[in-house]
Amino acid sequence: MRVPYGSTVHGQEEIDAVVNVLKTTTQMSTNVREFEAKVAEKYEHDFGIMVNSGSSALYLSIEALNLPEGSEVITPALTFGTTVACIVNSGLVPVFVDVKEDTYCIDETKIEEKINENTSAIVAPDLMGNICEWPIIREMADKYNLKILVDSADTIGATYDGVSTGSFADVAITSFYGSHIINGAGNGGMIVTSDKKVADKCSLLRSWGRSSSLFVESEAIENRFNVQLEGIQYDAKFVFEELGYQLEPSEISAAFALVQFNKLDKNMELRNKHFDSHLSFLSKYSQFFSLPKQNPKAYTCWLAFPMVVKKEAPFNRTDMQIFLEKRNIQTRVVFTGNVLRQPMMKNVKYVGKADDFVNADRVMKQGILLACHHGLDDEMINHLYQSIDLFIEQYK
């Protein structure tokens, strides 16, 4: 019996959608536009810009916000590598804040003390799918005129007090990677915003920086042959307004994701069912594990089930991982742990000291992730629970 950490779940409907695309065009078209509109509405924003990955979405979002070069961006020390990479590669300085114990999210009580005249934005992930205290963070950002970028790569459809978490953001992103709540045939990402300037810049940057990327019908003659470059009559399809990239999504990805989008509520229900089951089962071992905490005002579903092996436990995180992996149960550590201890930070300019982030360190040393995705079945879950029982039995 194999218990995968993550899994893509799809059926004939997704296959049919992909085949239909293969009969027309694989380039960005009506499926991409329809999916953009649906995700933007879900996040309570006006514009959606689909790209080829969540990382691309994050990078374009930061670039499109036009934050002052060298300015500071507040972000948590427990994170995913690309969240920090996109800040640094945009010429900005990450200022690190610890996370709240057992939430895996930025500690909002520690943000304000880090704000100064050089601060331009707050970029924080809803890590593992748990939700940051966005109403408090939004109020703080408004007080100091800061931008908020919500990195919701790990979740979609989350709400806080019944309001989409995206509504607290100037820009939010999500990911349709294969192991996520819904996926785009393995990959895909989305930027959502209500700022048309940001949306237009993201659209330009994802498509080589060409102005034609803003045309719905890029081949229309009336759009193409009415421009001049320094007095030279030119084709607008090859006017490069920005230093852009090729980060376009596939029409296949969008068609697949549209079918998945209709299954979002069901997928969330299944993940929450598995999460609650894990919470109930593991509570009998509370002397060994610190279990995740979620604000009751938040509705979300978790990407995976995180927990921390307590220091007083007679075993460590690695002991447990090896035992479970030998029984064909995949496990993970909690992403970067304290990111300041990762080798990628060696030559990076940032604000913060690794030793100051006690909770991020605790997760790095003792945190473990278990599967709770919508592809799990009863047999897999029973195998997981029986294996944990057997592991604990060794130490009684």
Delineate the domains of the chain, giving CATH numbers in brackets.
Answer: 12-261 (3.40.640.10), 264-393 (3.90.1150.10)
Q: Report whether pLDDT(224) > 90.
A: no
Burial 261-286 (b: 16+ CB within 10 A, else e): bebbeebbebbbebbebbeeebeebe
pLDDT at 216: 72
pLDDT in tens, 146-183: 999 999 999 999 999 999 999 999 999 999 999 999 99
pLDDT of the residue at 221: 84
Q: What is the pLDDT of residue 346?
A: 96
> Residue 283, SS3?
helix
Amino acid at 16: D
| C-alpha to C-alpha distance for 155 and 174, rounded to whole angstroms | 7
Q: What is the pLDDT of residue 235?
A: 93
* Alpha helices (H) along the chain: 12-22, 30-42, 54-64, 81-89, 134-144, 196-206, 221-224, 251-261, 264-282, 317-326, 358-366, 378-393
Select from 237, 104, 261 the least CA-distant residue to 188: 261
What average pLDDT does the structure give for the chain?
97
Answer positive or negative: Cα dihedral of 340, 206, 165, 113.
positive
Tell me the C-alpha distance between 218 and 225, whole Å: 11
Looking at residues 4-15, what average pLDDT do you find?
96
| Exposed / middle / buried, residue 385 (Cβ in 10 Å: 0-12, 13-18, 19+) | middle
